[in-house]
A and B are shown apart, each in its own frame.
Chain A
Amino acid sequence: MTLGYALTIGVFIGIFTILTVSLNILTGYARQVSLGHAAFFGIGAYSSAILAVKCGLSFWAALPITIVITALVGVFLGLPSLRVSHDFLVLSTIGLNFIVVAIFNYFPFFGGSMGIIDIPMPRLLGRPLSNLEYFILTLSLVFLTVLTSYYLSKTWGRLAMEAMGEDEVAAKSMGINVPKFKIYAFAISSAYAGIAGSLWAHYVGSVFPHNFSFDRSVAILSMLVFGGMGTIRGAVFGAVLLRLIPEFFRFVENYRMLIYGGLLVLMIMFQPMGLLGKGSFIWNGIESLLSRLRSRGMRAVE
C-alpha cells in the first residue's frame, strides 16, 4: 500500500467518522432512527459543489455556507418527525432519501445523472492542497466534529434530547418542548453531515446522485450500531473499523452491503448497544479493567 493510497483511505474514514458522529446526535441521543442520513450528506456535497463550480466560491467560503444550508434543510426534513415516530419515522426517512436522490437526478440544476464535475481541490497559499494536506484538513474537521459534539454531549440540550428520545410524554412534563428538540437534533446532525459532504465533493472532484443513495444510509447506520449508538467513541470506532475491514480483505468489497446488513441484524440481536456502547461486553470489560488499574495505582501511591 502506497502512502498516497493510505491517505485516500484516511480521508474517507474521516468523512465517514463525521457522518457517524453526526448521526449519533440524531439517532443515539434523540433516538430518531434515520435511514436517510446519506440525503443530508448528499445535500452537503451538492451545496458545496454548486457553490464552488457555479458560484466560483472557494472551499473555505463554501464550507460555512454549506453548513448553514444543510442545517436549514435539516430543519425542513425533520418536520415529518413531528408527525410520525418509531417505525414510521424510519420509513419516512427512507422515503426522504429516495426523494432527495430523485431531485438530484431529475433537476438539470443538479446536473442530472451526469452529476457535477470539476469541483476544484481547496487552495491554500495560491496552490491546491496536496493529498497529505487534504488528509490533515479532514483530520482537523474530524477533531472539530468530535470535540464540539463531545461538548454538546455534556449540555442540557443533550439531556433533553435523551429524555425526549426515551419518553416523549414524560419529557413534556419536564418542560421539554418536544417538537423543538426533534428539530434541533435534525438540524445539528444535518449540519455536521454537511461538513462531510463538503469534504467528499472537493476530494473526489465530482458528485453523482448514486453517491448518496439509500445503501449509503444503511452503511452509516450500520457503522453507528456496530460501534455503539449513543456514544461518540462508538461512532468513531464503528466508522473506522467498518471502513478499514474491506481494505484489508479485498474480497469483502463485493459483499459489503451483505456484511453491513448481516452485522446490523447480529448486533441488534446480541449487542444492541454496539461494541463500545454503554453496557456492552467490551466496554464493561474496559471499564472494570480501568477501575482495577486505578485502585491499584491508588494503593501504590499510598
Chain B
Amino acid sequence: MKGILETHDLSKHFGGLKAVDGVDLQVAEGEIHGIIGPNGAGKTTLFNLITGYLKPTRGRIWFKGRRIDGLGPHRIVKLGIARTFQIVRPFTELTVLENVLVAWGYRYYDTGKVFWGRYGSAREEGLKILEFAGLKERRNLPAGALPIGLQRRLEIARAIALNPSLLLLDEPAAGLTEEEITQLKELIRKIVAQGLTVILVEHRMRFVMDICARITVLDRGRVIAEGQPREIATDPKVIEAYLGVSKEAKGVTS
C-alpha cells in the first residue's frame, strides 16, 4: 500500500538558499514518523510545505493519493492534516475550551451556519477532547495563563479537534521537563491508537528514538538517511551531520 503522505522531489528555495531540496518522503498510515536533523536542516520548512504555509518551488505532495501542493493552509486542514507550531501559538485571550472550539468550528466556517450556529452547542465535544488531552480542569482559564507544557498540550488538543488523519507536531517536546515528556509520549501513543498518523520534528534524540517507528534525517535540505531508529543511530552519515567530521578525518576515509 502507498503511504498516507508522499512527497516527490519536494523543494523550497529562498533565493540561493535551498531550504528543502528534492525531498522524497513516504509516511505509512498509522505510524509515528520522526524527522530529525541539525539546525537549519529544513525540517520546519518541510512542515510548512506540507501544511500549505509555503508553496513549493518544485515537486509534489500527495495526501491519501490526492495532490495537495499549492493548496492554502485552511483547505489542507479540511482534507485532514493538522499541525502544531514550534513556537506555541495558543489564542491567549480565549479560554482553553474556546481554543478547542475554534478548531471544532472548522466544520462550520465555510457553511451557511457560520453566523447562525452557536459555538456553545459544541461544548460537550470540546470538553471530551480536553479530557482526552488532560486539560479539562483548566477549561475556563485563558490559554495565555497556562505554563508552556500545557500550552503545547492545548495545541495538540486543538489539532485533534480538527479530526485529522495526519498530525504534524513541530518540536512537541521543546521546553518540557522529563516528566512532561513522559506524559507527552503517552498522549502521542494514545493518539496513534485512535488510528491517526503522526509526523514529528524533534531535537530530543532519546524521545525520538523511543517513540518513532521510522525516522528521516535531513541535512541542508536533503534526505541523508531513512530507517528504523536503530539503523539511524549507527548511520555514519547521520553521525557526521550531527557531530561534523574534520577535514583530516575526511582525508583519511576517502
Contact = CB atoms under 8 A, between A and B. Distances in A.
A177 B108 CA distance: 12
Secondary structure call for the A interface? helix
Contacts, number: 94
B89 interface: yes
B113 interface: yes
A61 interface: no
Nearest to B52: A172
A155 B118 contact: yes
A25 to B, nearest CB: 11
Contacts of B53: 169, 172
Interface stretch (A80-88, A156-164, A245-253): A156-164
Nearest to A230: B93
Given A157-B114, A162-B94, A163-B94, A174 B103 contact: yes
Contacts of A157: 109, 114-115
* A: interface residue count bin: 20 to 34
B72 A172 contact: yes
A172 B113 CA distance: 19
Interface residues of B, number: 36
Contacts of A178: 74
A159 B99 CA distance: 9
A133 interface: no
A162 B109 CA distance: 13
A175 B109 contact: yes
Contacts of B120: 154
A152 interface: yes
Contacts of A160: 102, 105, 109, 114
A166 interface: yes
A173 interface: yes
A176 to B, nearest CB: 6
B114 A173 contact: no
A178 B72 CA distance: 11
A156 B85 contact: no
A9 B51 CA distance: 54
Interface of B: 51, 53, 72-74, 77-78, 82-83, 85, 89-94, 98, 101-103, 105-106, 108-110, 113-120, 158-159, 162
Given A156-B105, A177-B74, 4 more contacts: A159-B105, A169-B53, A169-B89, A175-B162
